[in-house]
Amino acid sequence: MGRYVIRRLLQMIPVFIGSTFLIFFMVYALGDPVAALFGDKAPDPATAARIRKDLYLDQPLWKQYLHYMGQIFKGDFGTAFNGQSVTELMASAFPVTLRLTLVAIFFEIVIGITLGVISGLRRGKSVDTSVLVLTLVVISVPTFVTGYLLQYLFGVKWGWVRPTVSPDAPLNELILPGIVLALVSLAYVTRLSRTSIAENVKADYVRTATAKGLPRSRVVTRHLLRNSLIPVVTFIGTDIGALMGGAIVTERIFNIHGVGYQLYQGILRNNSPTVVGFVTILVIVFLLANLLVDLLYAVLDPRIRYA
Amino acid sequence: MRGATHAKWAACAVAVALAATACGGGSDSGGGGEAGIISSSWGDPQNPLEPANTNEVQGGKVLDMLFRGLKRYDPETGEAKNMLAESIQTTDSQNFTVTLKDGWKFSNDEPVTAQSFVDAWNYGADVRNKQNNSPFFSDIVGYDDVHPASGEPKSKTMSGLVVKDPKTFTVALKDKFSTWPETLGYQAFSPLPKAFFTDHTAWLDKPIGNGPYTVDSYTKGTGMKLRKWDAYPGEDKAQNGGVDLKVYTDNNTAYTDLISGNLDLVDDVPAQQLKNVKNDLGDRYINQPALIIQTLTFPLYDPQWSKPGTEKVRQGISRAINRDEITQQIFRETRTPAKDWTSPALGEKGGFSATACGDACVYDPAEAKKLIQEGGGLPGGKVTLTSNVDTGSHRDWMDAVCNSVNNALGEGPVCTVNPVGTFADFRNQQSSYKLTGPFRSGWQADYPLIQNFLQPLYYTGASSNYGKFSNKEFDDLVDQANRESDPAKAIASFQESEKILAEQMPSIPLWYQNGSAGYSERLEDVSLNQFSVPVYDQIKVI
């Protein structure tokens, strides 16, 4: 197990380097950030040259990359154009998005798996059909539509919640955005667990457990659910990274100043330190979440062993 | 059971994480609550908030509340009126003597002296400080010493600025520039207190100025709380207790907050909401011209657009654009069809002319077809419009313009759109002269002067002359206008130069952009200035 973890951690290094280089290259290809700093006016050549020199933009791309990586290992992620250090931006953005992601994951797990179990156990019944139709609708409607719709209904029309989230982003204000963010994944979780449950419900070990006279609730939670959760856990694990990075739409709608907001600003202003820095962290989150998922397999199914 | 303990452990970890991240939550006063305080939408300023480094509306909005300069543009008429300046005198339109009024001070009680201006201007011009607005000081003698085109500056100060006594300083310009004093209302010319130079970081975290408001708190990327400065010595004291600026990523969200009572003022009504805005806000919706014009500039550096006769093609394209329909259908009258190369916000007195473009800006498909044929047809038989499409409904209007041109010419889809993903990329292509067809050029004036709409854009070699238009006659008329000491004559000369633009059509005026704003029932006396920024100090809270 320990060797497995170390091997996995070591594998992260090339992935980390490769992804940061790709992002670096892509942001660079977006155009000259300094030209955009001057708005509709022509940049003053001398000033622009100074800014380029300061930001290391006058060097060839590979040198910029090396310089950047050198800085990262010193814990310096560079400076955004408004003078704030990127680490400062991260310190303010990541907790907010993490909170939002956890709220979303929470709903995914609770609602998604519950619905999945219910419809999986009643395959073909009307409950099952309506859950399938409902999830299909949720999957096919884009997040920004549900976001604006729920915001309008709950925030403006009925006034149950504030339509936007205050800068501190406390948990109670994040419930609605969390649900919006979770909805599509939630539908997938429902469908995944439904299929899995429906398949396993006919398995020998379930029959044996039932034959032993175990109560139905114990059969479902201990025997059926635990074995059926493996694909669901895989999905949720990868979803952590996807939700953190993909919160751009939700964060925009509810004016949450998290990772999505900073990434959006960074891309719009072509601010490579911000974009590369944030995406680098997201890559790490992705990798760690995947590792966690793989380790959780052993918890769910002791037959799975790592060498 | 081994598995069970693992699962329990994982559940605990999640619970701890949830609890830990929840700690950040706290109280928030929110909008539309505190007595006398206005909450208003804001965008994150692009650059640090230094007067000479701020060249966009969001940062400018704050500077307008924090600073008062030698002159200030009347929010209603745009006229440059003396603010801190007692007088700005000249005999030759080249050497100026500035005298300050008594009694002005910064909010940290430091008096505003001639030195406060000279230091600020020298700082703004110095290339080492990398200020975006440095070129605004380029008319002053000695600018090249502090801001050389390359290499290290020879000096820290401009020789053209001389402090005579605490209340007086003189300015020597490189050339005659009769309307130079009128440019001094621009924020880059604001005075700066000593604290700016001695503890720059602290100043940036909490700027100190001499305007009607002081900064109570500033959280970058989130918002700024400004409060009325009770000891403000000027006459335009704040009529409210303060302004809470809240950063919104999306103006739709700001609008939602406004109509649900969480926000008092938005200064940019999103295009998608324009159809509802009258219903939602009634007469609490403002839509008025600002000093912004959108044009389509031709790449005259490209021989196929600049060979003799193509001016007819350029005029023809202009006549093929149905401005009235596009401004109504797409922009719901938040744009006004352009009739010259300036803006109606200048006023007739300031040089706006509804006839300068004349027929060349009137929609006439038959005439358009004829002109393009006479001019030798579209280069290569087609025309491609380019703009960034990340903001401002640019994609929509470009499609509409192309449809209009295609319908007028009736030769199939000869006009196509080249959408560029980001502003930065578009600026890149534009400023490296890579575009081969007409491209969008938006222009927001820095000060309400006709000079600012013409010279930087169309003068030979001018800084923002992206089409590389060059016309001797036009240049002469601009020079003549700048030498002219009588403002009325200067404006007449500028208007004369616009006739050349109408003949040559280096850029097609599309429409003037309006400022739009909406506000809650708590407010009254809300208005926008020529830069489409709310005049915050005049707003009253009921």
Q: Which two tokens stand for residue B17?
A: 């994480």
Q: Which CATH number fits domain B69-201: 3.90.76.10, 3.20.20.60, 1.10.3430.10, 3.40.50.720?
A: 3.90.76.10
* pLDDT, mean of residues B450-479: 91
Q: Do B21 and A99 touch (CB under 8 A)?
A: yes
Q: Min CA distance, A126 vs chain B (Å)?
A: 33
Contacts of B22 in chain A (CB under 8 A): 99, 170-171
Query: For a pLDDT cut of 90, what percent of chain B falls above it?
Result: 62
pLDDT in tens, B134-178: 989 999 999 999 999 888 999 999 999 999 999 999 999 998 888
| pLDDT at position B103 | 92
Three state DSSP letters for chain A: CHHHHHHHHHHHHHHHHHHHHHHHHHHHHCCCHHHHHCCCCCCCHHHHHHHHHHCCCCCCHHHHHHHHHHHHHCCCCCECCCCCEHHHHHHHHHHHHHHHHHHHHHHHHHHHHHHHHHHHHCCCCHHHHHHHHHHHHHHHCCHHHHHHHHHHHHHHHCCCCCCCCCCCCCHHHHHHHHHHHHHHHHHHHHHHHHHHHHHHCCCHHHHHHHHCCCCHHHHHHHHHHHHHHHHHHHHHHHHHHHHHHCCHHHHHHCCCCCHHHHHHHHHHCCCHHHHHHHHHHHHHHHHHHHHHHHHHHHHHCCCCCCC
* pLDDT, mean of residues B104-110: 94
pLDDT in tens, A4-54: 888 888 888 888 888 888 888 887 776 677 877 787 777 888 888 888 888
Q: Do A84 and B220 touch (CB under 8 A)?
A: yes
Is residue B29's pLDDT more than 50? no
Closest by Cβ to A261, choosing from B7, B30, B249:
B249
Query: For a pLDDT cut of 70, what percent of chain B falls above it?
Result: 94
| pLDDT at position A282 | 87
| pLDDT at position B24 | 35
Lowest pLDDT segment from B28-32, B177-181, B375-379: B28-32
To the nearest 10 degrees (0 to 180), the angle between helices A2-29 and A61-73 is 140
Q: Do B249 and A252 touch (CB under 8 A)?
A: yes
β-pairing, B71-73 vs B265-266, is: unpaired
- Topology of domain B21-49+211-287+516-541, CATH: D-Maltodextrin-Binding Protein; domain 2 (3.40.190)
pLDDT in tens, B201-234: 999 999 999 999 999 999 888 899 999 999 999 9
pLDDT in tens, B44-55: 888 889 999 988
Q: Which two tokens stand for residue A99?
A: 């909170």
How far is it, in rounded angstroms, from Cα B446 to Cα B444?
6
Q: Do A47 and B134 touch (CB under 8 A)?
A: yes
Three state DSSP letters for A5-53: HHHHHHHHHHHHHHHHHHHHHHHHHCCCHHHHHCCCCCCCHHHHHHHHH
CATH architecture entry for B291-513: Roll (3.10)
Q: Min CA distance, A52 vs chain B (Å)?
A: 10
Q: H or E stretch including B428?
A: helix B423-431
Residue of B nearest to A261 (CA): B249
Q: Is the ipTM of this complex over 0.90?
A: no
Reported as a pLDDT band with limits 50, 70 and 90, residue B20 is: very low
How far is it, in rounded angstroms, from Cα B108 to Cα B194?
10
pLDDT in tens, A194-216: 999 998 888 888 889 889 988 98
Is residue B191's pLDDT more than 90? yes
| pLDDT at position B179 | 84
Contacts of B423 in chain A (CB under 8 A): 36, 268
* pLDDT, mean of residues A83-108: 90
A306–chain B Cβ distance below 8 A for any pair: no
Contacts of B254 in chain A (CB under 8 A): 255
| pLDDT at position A281 | 86
To the nearest 10 degrees (0 to 180), the angle between helices A226-245 and A175-200 is 150
| pLDDT at position B499 | 93
Reported as a pLDDT band with limits 50, 70 and 90, residue B270 is: confident
Is residue A145's pLDDT more than 80? yes
A276–chain B Cβ distance below 8 A for any pair: no
The letter for the amino acid at B283 is D
Q: Do A32 and B424 touch (CB under 8 A)?
A: yes
Indicate which of B253, B257, B263 best probes the interface with A, i.e. most A CBs within 10 Å of its own CB.
B253
| pLDDT at position B161 | 95
Closest by Cβ to A30, choosing from B46, B424, B464:
B424
| pLDDT at position B9 | 47
| pLDDT at position A177 | 92
Q: Min CA distance, A131 vs chain B (Å)?
A: 27
A85–chain B Cβ distance below 8 A for any pair: no
| pLDDT at position B196 | 95
pLDDT in tens, A249-302: 899 899 998 898 888 888 877 787 888 888 888 888 888 888 888 888 877 777
Contacts of A54 in chain B (CB under 8 A): 130
Q: Do domains B69-201 and B291-513 have the same CATH topology?
A: no
Cβ under 8 Å to B: A residues 31-50: 31-33, 35-47, 49-50
Contact B168, B97 (CB under 8 A): yes
Q: Do A96 and B428 touch (CB under 8 A)?
A: no
| pLDDT at position A307 | 55
The secondary structure of residue B33, as a DSSP letter, is -
How far is it, in rounded angstroms, from Cα A238 to Cα A245?
11
Q: Do B428 and A81 touch (CB under 8 A)?
A: no
Q: Do A31 and B44 touch (CB under 8 A)?
A: no
Is residue B276's pLDDT more than 70? yes
Closest CA to A96 of A272, A285, A247, A277: A247
| pLDDT at position A64 | 86
How far is it, in rounded angstroms, from Cα B158 to Cα B308?
45
pLDDT in tens, A224-235: 888 888 888 888
pLDDT in tens, B335-390: 999 999 999 988 888 889 999 998 999 999 999 999 999 998 899 889 999 998 87
Closest by Cβ to A156, choosing from B219, B260, B444:
B260
Sign of CA dihedral A295, A299, A304, A306: positive
Contacts of B257 in chain A (CB under 8 A): 163-164, 255
Q: Do B55 and A49 touch (CB under 8 A)?
A: no
Mean pLDDT of all residues belonging to chain B = 88
| pLDDT at position B216 | 94
Q: Min CA distance, B162 vs chain A (Å)?
A: 25
Closest CA to B471 of B446, B488, B454, B487: B454
| pLDDT at position A68 | 85
* pLDDT, mean of residues B304-308: 88
How far is it, in rounded angstroms, from Cα A203 to Cα A150?
41
A51–chain B Cβ distance below 8 A for any pair: yes
* pLDDT, mean of residues A94-123: 92
Contacts of A47 in chain B (CB under 8 A): 127, 130-132, 134, 147
Q: Which two tokens stand for residue B410?
A: 């009736």
How far is it, in rounded angstroms, from Cα B436 to Cα B434?
6
| pLDDT at position B5 | 45
* pLDDT, mean of residues B523-540: 91
Q: Do A164 and B262 touch (CB under 8 A)?
A: yes
Q: H or E stretch including B541?
A: strand B540-541
Domain boundaries, chain B: 21-49+211-287+516-541, 69-201, 291-513
Is residue B70's pLDDT more than 70? yes
pTM given for the model = 0.83
